[in-house]
Amino acid sequence: MSKINGLLVFIMLSLIIAVVVSCGNPTDDTGSETDRFQGIIYSLEENQILVIQDLDNVNVPWSYWFETGKRAVSFSIVEGETIIENAGDETGPEALARGQRVEVWHSGALAESYPEQGRALKVMILDPQAAEEALTDSGRYAGLTSDAGSELILIRISGVPDEMPPRSYRLTAEAAVLVENLSLTEGTEIIFRYLSDEQSDGLIFDLSRL
């Protein structure tokens, strides 16, 4: 009788452990265990978020994390399938924003590319604080100047008549290094990302040749 009781206790303990493990390791609809990835949302595109690990500031050039090999994953967000949670409440993809810190649950191995690629089963917003939305534009390099102690880059914006004066933008420290390394000459076509700025036409934090 004692052997039977011992067997029942063993079975019950096994079931409890199995339930605890299954709760700690969520599965997708195929029953496969999921993995988790934490990072900051660097950029959003339609049904896609790019999440970078060990990054504190999203207002840095792509090369800042790309060349240092920080782990980066581009996750697809499938409407009706990917669960989005903020403070424990389920919400929609519209709650996701650039600069937020998130934990992404995904299933199976990620595609071996850089950034890696995968499908998000669940996105938990750990820090809802969003960064200022970045703008993207392109044009032709027109030189450097300075104003009130700040170095400015002059750019003739694409589609604007040549008789119009170039626009002037301030540069972050990282972007200034990029400009120096690119060895730009007048007329070089460039694309850049910037933030609104009270002191100039914008604050550029990322820039590359077209």
pLDDT tens, residue by residue, 104-129: 999 878 888 999 999 999 999 999 99
CATH fold of 34-127, please? OB fold (Dihydrolipoamide Acetyltransferase, E2P) (2.40.50)
**Cα gap 82→72, rounded to integer Å:** 19
Q: What's the Cα-to-Cα distance from 68 to each of 8, 28, 65, rounded to whole Å?
A: 55, 33, 5
Q: What is the pTM of this model?
A: 0.79
Element containing residue 157 per DSSP (H, E): strand 150-157
Q: Is the pLDDT of residue 147 over 90?
A: no
CATH fold of 135-209, please? OB fold (Dihydrolipoamide Acetyltransferase, E2P) (2.40.50)
Q: Is the pLDDT of residue 203 over 60?
A: yes
**Cα gap 84→95, rounded to integer Å:** 8
Structure tokens of 89?
A: 């409440």
Which residues, listed in sequence order, are joined to residue 74 by a DSSP beta bridge? 50, 117
**Which of 112, 31, 118 lies closest to 77, judged by CA?**
118
Tell me the domain boundaries of the chain.
34-127, 135-209
